[in-house]
Amino acid sequence: MQSRTVARELALLMLGQTSDRPAGGAAAGAASHETPLDALLHQALATLSQHVREALDQAAADLQAAQQQLLDSELQDEGSSEQLPRVRQHLQEGLSHAEQGLNRLSASLELPRLLMLADQEEIRRGAIERVRAVLRSRSDLDQRLDAVMEGWRLSRLPRIDRDILRLAAVDIEEFRTPPAVACNEAVELANRYSDEQGRRMINGVLRRFTSAGTPQR
């Protein structure tokens, strides 16, 4: 796991602790950016710890549901052949729950490592710098991201998806991350924190954003 990847994920959690509404005026906007970023980092780590616990609890629940479905299929199998469709259904549902549980467990195993790496000064600094970059130019970023949305508005996306897009944009433009790498890592963040629709949307928006080019500074 590269330090940039960890820093971006911490930055995403930090941004989730900030207001997403314009502060009203340039002076107010500048003042809102004076939020103690170290405090945001500590809040983000607390959020991540909670996410680990919830992911493990959900994985356990999925595996328990899988066990129950498989047990039900065994009981149904003792009946007549007319019950075979129901047996198959229980088996399919049991396997589906098992797959979900194992996937959640696999994903959650990476999170304690993330917490451990978050203690590294380089990663903490990278997360804070990314949050600062987003907050400093969020209005401009949002306008340019909104310009490449197709049949949708940036403001209508879930907050987590907007922040993933903003972080990818500043990584490309200010941290010189190759666009393909930034897009792939944004999709990985969406895999953990968003859903299938969010993943598709993020991938498409970032491809159009990078095709539009970086503005001259």
Q: What is the pLDDT of residues 148-193, one digit of tens each?
A: 998 889 999 999 999 999 999 999 999 999 999 999 999 989 988 8
Q: Helix, strand, coil shares of the chain as percentages rounded to 5?
A: 80, 0, 20
pTM of the complete model = 0.68
Per the prediction, the chain carries an average pLDDT of 77
Of the chain, the percentage scoring pLDDT greater than 70 comes to: 64
Q: What letter does residue 33 receive in the DSSP assignment?
A: T
Q: What is the pLDDT of residues 15-54, one digit of tens each?
A: 988 888 655 444 334 434 445 888 888 887 777 777 666 7
State how far the alpha carbon of 22 is from the alpha carbons of 28, 31, 213, in Å.
9, 11, 26
Q: Is 30 part of a structural domain of the chain? A: no
What is the per-residue pLDDT for 212? 79
Q: Is 31 part of a structural domain of the chain? A: no
Q: Is 27 part of a structural domain of the chain? A: no
Domain that holds residue 59: 3-17+38-211
Residue 99 sits in a domain of what CATH number?
1.10.940.10
Are residues 76 and 88 in contact, defined by beta-carbon separation less than 8 angstroms? no
Q: Is 173 part of a structural domain of the chain? A: yes
